[in-house]
Amino acid sequence: VEVSVGSNLEHIVEGIALNGEPGVIWMDVTRQYGRLIDPINNKDHRAAGYNPCAEQSLESFECCTLVETYLNRHDSIEDYKRTLKFAYLYAKTVTLLPTHWEETNAIMQRNRRIGTSMSGVANFADRVGVPALREWMDQGYRTIQRYDNVYSEWLGIRESIKMTTIKPSGTVSILAGESPGVHWTPGGKYFNRTIRFANEDPMLPLFKMANYTVEPASESPNTTSVVYFPIKSDAARAERDVTIFEKMSLAATAQRYWSDNSVSVTISFDKDTESEHVGTVLHMYDGQLKTVSFLPSGNHTYPQMPYTQISEKEYTDASSKLFAIDLTGVYAGMASDAIGERYCTTDSCEIKFIKDNSKAN
């Protein structure tokens, strides 16, 4: 739902506490502010809404242009600033590419909106503390701002009206061993990540041969299988170990010191013990966020959940039984995901026609 600062949200709190819906968007804050530590600038006064994950405010026909960085993969803030330079250049360069829609091209040329994101935020805060996180965010933002001033002039284009964001991330962060976006890792330090595959997927026999746990999916056993991947992360705490108040506070910190677009955050809460606090945190952080959504947990558990927390022993036992997977066939095109689409690619089209000699055309 779209609200304004100071709105009475009592009529939606009960639904959020019950099933997490609806999410909340403060469009007045969105249109007036970049980062919330900075003064009102009204640069985004034309914003009509958000992308589906609610990290990028957008005009109709506008593109997100996202790029992601990882805080914990850097030894110093200077090292991180160097990564931000290349991340910024990549995103800014993408805005130079025309699309097939004139309306989109016009908006992109006017706004040059990009979304330089950071992941591993919760892990970083747990590891070195929130004061250091605020410093990295603030200095990182000013670094991107400086690059935008320089390179926009070099390129002869407008400076970006907004440049930073926090993506929800997810599986991409797991591949880097990081907590997703501004969230704590759902499974903590050791967890099973379950992924569903169609029963005819050619990857499935490879997982079975490598000794991964494979089960029929509870909701569609005849067509789908679930594969369990044991994961070890650098997380100090799991999502369930963090209160609803701390989760809101971290998101607000990112909105204040880093993201001039928005922070995509889903605040999970224990349905048994924290649902009564939903209205409280919405009131406390009114005007300190641009978007927020919620997700109840606790007794609201389903079979074969995407993330299942396990012990160190369970992780060791499961991973020690695994064999390496021969991916030769996958890279040769055996897996369905590895088969490229034909038809239009870049500026040319590849369409296969079958010649029919029985007809003269």
233 contacts 189 by C-beta, under 8 angstroms? yes
* Residue 33 CB burial class (10 angstroms; 0-12, 13-18, ≥19): buried
Q: Which amino acid is at 341?
A: E
Grouping H, G, I as helix, E, B as strand and the rest as coil, residue 41 is coil
Based on the residue annotation, tell me whether 344 is a catalytic residue of this protein.
no
Spatial distance between the Cα atoms of 133 and 71, rounded to a whole number of angstroms? 9
Bridging pattern class, strands 190-198 and 164-165: unpaired
List of residues 6+ apart from 173 with CB closer than 8 A: 70, 119, 120, 179, 180, 181
> How far from the centroid of its chain's Cα atoms is residue 147's Cα?
24
Which tokens hold the place of 277?
């606090």
211 contacts 322 by C-beta, under 8 angstroms? yes
Q: 53, 59, 62, 68: which is the annotated catalytic residue?
A: 53
Based on the residue annotation, tell me whether 10 is a catalytic residue of this protein.
no
Per DSSP, helices labelled H in 112-165 are: 121-128, 130-155
Spatial distance between the Cα atoms of 128 and 189, rounded to a whole number of angstroms? 17
Q: 10, 55, 153, 215: which is the annotated catalytic residue?
A: 55
266 contacts 155 by C-beta, under 8 angstroms? no
Active site residues: 53, 55
